[in-house]
A and B are shown apart, each in its own frame.
Chain A
Amino acid sequence: MKITLQHLCFLLILASLVILPFVNDSRTLIILLTQIFIFGILAMSYDILLGYTGIVSFGHAMFFGIGAYTTAVMLKQMDATLFTFLLSIVAGMFFAGIISFLVGLLTLRLKSHFFAMLTLAFAGLFLVVAEKWRTVTYGNDGFTFRAPDIFKDRITFYFFVLTCLVVIFIALYRFVNSPTGRILIAVRENEQRTKSLGFNTLHYKVIASVVAGIVASLAGSLYSLSLRFVNTSVMTMDITLDALLMTIIGGVGTLVGPLLGAAVIEYAQHALSGLARDNPIFERWIIFFGILYILAVIFFPKGIIGSIRIMFWKWNTRLKERRKSPATLPHKKERFE
């Protein structure tokens, strides 16, 4: 594999993130970064659906919630050890995989509008289950649970989440660049044509839905452990909206985009709720996000990464042309004449 500038950038960022806790051990910063990583994982999983396959799902919080509740319930009912936690992650991913497979099979045959609404309905159903199944979930109030001793230290947890993020990033990178991932992009671009080329598009869309579901469940597990508390808010529409917003702002159809989006949104949330102490208008920070979101859809549909890419691409072609220009330009002209 050739090492490119991009790889070097990633390595540099990763290295600085690894060194950071030793240089600056501010608790808020560590917690904020952990939160960014967790939502980064969630947003990346959402981008598999929205950016790579071109389907809008409103049920993503469902898988996040499955992961969160599996971890929370298992840590509460069994000993709070590292083994239980790892087991709960696997169990959550397993459930999420099965449910996303079944839901995908049922819903992915439908067109975009109907699919969006049916996923909304399924997510609503799960929210109701979480609210009503009080013996396990304690309803709306939620419950606290003990974290494994090793994660009592915020910095250990930070490294654990960072490792998860890197692993998931590499895995998803491999996935979207695999033949299957390429077909997902083909589905996004033109489903009819993909179908007529002989691919069973439903099959591939279900694969995308299962992958996204499993990764979202992991994010949910990490999220509930980071709070050591879980309630039905992990199943609500807000989580899906957050993931959607992060993906759109960062840039759909890339993996770095959602990560960047997660960083921007989480940091903005943190900063704006800090500002709320000075001016009450900032308490309604969702308004800013809503406006940002509308503007992004109209003027900035490719997001941060997408726009940078286009800029870079234009710059690159111009550079190439200039390099060629004095000698080759007449050549070109001749050829056209």
Chain B
Amino acid sequence: MELMVNLMINGLATGMLIFLLAAGLTLIFGLMDVLNFAHGGLFVWGAYAGIFTYMYTESFLFGILGAIVTGALLGLVTEKFIITPVYGNHIQQILITLGLMLVLQEMIKVVFGPNGVPVKTPSYLAGSWEIGDVIIIKYRLFIIIVGFVIFGIFQYMLKRTKIGLIVRAGVQDKEMAQALGIHIKQVFLYVFMVGAALAALSGMLMAPYSGVIYAEMGMEYAILGFIVVVIGGMGSFSGSLLAAILVGLAGSFMAYYVPVLSLAVNMILMAIVLIFRPQGLFTIRKERST
């Protein structure tokens, strides 16, 4: 029983981290119809910029802020120069963002050095509580809370506020929203920046969790993010949350019971979902013109 609870908490924490990563992806895809393969690059930049700010200022909160700002700025540049020329062309989007991914990943090595950087958890988040045989690692609980808070904020923003209304209108029908006087290009830019900031934030939060950051982690985690977005249904926020938790739990249980399969379990999950339900578990796009 205690084992089950431990595994579940681990799985949930991993799932929440993946959700934060996937949230940005799904936001960008949902509104802009852009599949951002450079998301992993933004993720790893967030991790590096955040951790270096954290080490310099010795404040974890500043680190998080640093990561978010870096992510948003990179998002701004990316949208302006890389994404704008290729709106509406899926194949070119895939290719160009992949190119950007390469550049971002290598730039990490130029700016921060090619070696991995060890990361310490801040003292007030280190350690764990023990309740009976259940071990609750503080940092994991922190991530779970952050994940749910972010999910709540975004859900509220999208469903209840005017900004959400505009974004949802853009998702439903780009041309109509534009005809009603919404500057959709501007909205795209902001959405991309928010998505990039979310990627950077998840990178920053991932850093103490994995204990070390390295340039190649971007692609590794980005693949997880893609898998979650695909399973959940592209562009669906709740779908991503559910899929991320599913992937996290499957990973943590598999790692304990069938370690051989643990690396492949996500791929298998995604393949199964795509083959039987190509649009994912949830989907917000009822009609899609191709």
Contact = CB atoms under 8 A, between A and B. Distances in A.
Interface of A: 50, 54, 56, 106-107, 109-114, 116-118, 120-122, 124-125, 128-129, 131-132, 192, 237, 241, 244, 248, 281, 284, 286-287, 289-291, 293-294, 297-298, 301
B125 interface: no
Interface in B250-271: 260, 263-264, 266-268, 270-271
14 contacts: A50-B91, A110-B274, A112-B91, A113-B94, A117-B230, A117-B274, A118-B270, A120-B223, A124-B223, A128-B264, A132-B260, A291-B103, A294-B82, A297-B96
A244 B107 contact: no
Contacts of B264: 124-125, 128-129
Contacts of A129: 264
Contacts of A116: 35, 94
- Chain B interface, DSSP helix/strand/loop, else mixed: helix
Interface in B80-95: 82, 85-86, 90-92, 94-95
B179 interface: no
A124 B219 CA distance: 12
A131 B262 CA distance: 13
B268 A241 contact: no
Given A244-B95, A284-B110, A297-B92, A132 B274 contact: no
Nearest to B290: A111
Contact of B99 (A112, A281, A290): A290
Interface in B124-153: none
Contacts of A241: 98, 102
Contacts of A118: 230, 270-271, 274
A145 to B, nearest CB: 26
Contacts of B99: 290-291, 293-294, 297
Contacts, number: 105
Contacts of B102: 241, 286-287, 289-290, 293
B217 to A, nearest CB: 14
Contacts of B103: 287, 290-291, 294
Nearest to B109: A284
Given A109-B278, A112-B94, A120-B223, A294 B267 contact: no
A113 B96 CA distance: 14
A110 B278 contact: yes
Nearest to A299: B85
A126 to B, nearest CB: 10
Contacts of A297: 86, 92, 95-96, 99
A117 to B, nearest CB: 5
B91 A54 contact: yes
Contact of B267 (A114, A122, A192, A290): A122
A195 to B, nearest CB: 12
B100 interface: yes
A298 B97 CA distance: 11
B96 A120 contact: no
Nearest to A192: B290
B54 interface: no
A114 B263 contact: no
Nearest to A127: B263
B35 to A, nearest CB: 5
Interface in B17-34: none
Most B CB contacts (10 A, CB to CB) among A107, A118, A301 go to: A118
Nearest to B95: A297
B247 interface: no
Contacts of B227: 117, 121
